[in-house]
Structure 1
Amino acid sequence: MLVTVGSKNSVKVDAVKEAFRIAKLDAEVFSIEVESGVPAQPFCDDTFTGARNRALRSMKIGHSDMGIGIEGGVCERNGRMVAFAVVHVVDKGGKENFSTSASFTLPENIAQLIREGKELGEATDVVFKVKNSKEKLGAVGHLSKGLISRTTLYIQPVLLAIYPFI
């Protein structure tokens, strides 16, 4: 089975590969850079739209059996900003499914930078004085002191999104 991931971000691709390994599914996983069609930092429902767009566009461009889109987003809930990811899966027969990751609250200094127009990865880089955190631990990794990496955060929602295809 040929599976395309609608992103060149190695964290997302690694999460998909690991989920397929855990599910014991034989798949060739390729990454294809596609536009999400939503703002660079999606808020709330735009996150679902971006993940779906990535899945559909990667499958179309890659002529794959299955397209997977992973989009990280933020949303204001109960007076706090939370971060989460959406995983959307579509196959060439038109079947679709999605899942979300666990969400986690962001400290106010990161939330404020996002409100000012920065993406979560950029805000994380500023606060933790690192570079390109979204290709590594991500905000969740820095906030959890390495207990949960961005890759780890994405594996379960990939598994939950692909279960109807197994």
Structure 2
Amino acid sequence: MIIAIGSINPAKVSAVRNVFEMMEKAEFAPAAVPSGVNEQPFSDEETITGAVNRSKAVLKLKNADIGIGLEGGVTETPHGMFLCNWGALTVKGGGTYVAGGARIPLPEEIAVRLRGGEELGPVMEDFAQKENVREKEGAVGIFTNGLVTRGEMFTHIAKLLLGQYLYHNN
């Protein structure tokens, strides 16, 4: 079974590998594919759309059995700007399953920069004075003092996706 991952980001790829390795004869095929949304998704809907687009694009590109798309974004709420994370699993010749992950508020000093047109990854590198934040702990890791990392957050989403797939295909 070929499981295509619509990203080459290490946090996303390892999350999918760790969860889907239980699938019999799983072969993983990561690839950079476009999300079809803004570099910085600004709503749940836009972030979901990005995840679905990635899952469908990588499924086709790799001629896979399953395509997985994971997308991080932000969303405005009455309580401030929150991180949001969504995933999609598209089955060859079948449907698409969607799942969302943890949310955490962003400090206003970060939100202001995002509203001004900057992207979260570079803003977090500047804020935390670290490189490759999006490939390592992510904003969630920084703002939870390392208790929840970006990889763990995407692992949770991958489990939700696999669970739905198994429920509907057993």
1:56–1:67 Cα contact (<8 Å) kept: yes
Structure 2 counterpart of 1:140: 140
* Alignment map for 1:7-86 (pairs within 5 Å): 7-21=7-21, 24-26=22-24, 27-44=26-43, 45-86=45-86
Q: Deviations over 1:37-90 (max 9, x none)?
A: 000000111101100000000000000000000000100011300001100000
SS at match of 1:104: coil
Q: Find the aligned partners of 2:32 and 2:46 in 1 and give their Cα distance.
A: 18
Normalization by structure 1: what TM-score? Answer: 0.95
Structure 2 counterpart of 1:102: 102
SS at match of 2:97: strand
SS at match of 1:29: strand
- Percent same amino acid at aligned positions? 37
Structure 2 unaligned spans of 5+? none
**How far did residue 158 of structure 1 move?**
1.0
Moved more, 34-43 or 92-101: 92-101
Q: Deviations over 1:118-160 (max 9, x none)?
A: 1111111111111120011100111111111100011111111
Q: Find the aligned partners of 1:100 and 1:134 in 2 and give their Cα distance.
A: 18
Aligned structure 1 segments of 4 or more residues deviating by more than 3 angstroms: none
Q: Find the aligned partners of 1:147 and 1:15 in 2 and give their Cα distance.
A: 16
SS at match of 2:99: strand
1:97–1:162 Cα contact (<8 Å) kept: no
1:151 corresponds to 2:151: yes
Q: CA RMSD in A?
A: 1.0
Q: Find the aligned partners of 1:96 and 1:6 in 2 and give their Cα distance.
A: 14
1:25 aligned partner, one-letter code: M
Q: Find the aligned partners of 1:65 and 1:11 in 2 and give their Cα distance.
A: 22
Normalization by structure 2: what TM-score? Answer: 0.93
Q: Find the aligned partners of 1:13 and 1:3 in 2 and give their Cα distance.
A: 11
Q: Find the aligned partners of 2:147 and 2:137 in 1 and give their Cα distance.
A: 10
1:3–1:67 Cα contact (<8 Å) kept: yes
**How far did residue 165 of structure 1 move?**
2.2
1:127 corresponds to 2:127: yes
**How far did residue 9 of structure 1 move?**
0.6
2:34 aligned partner, one-letter code: E
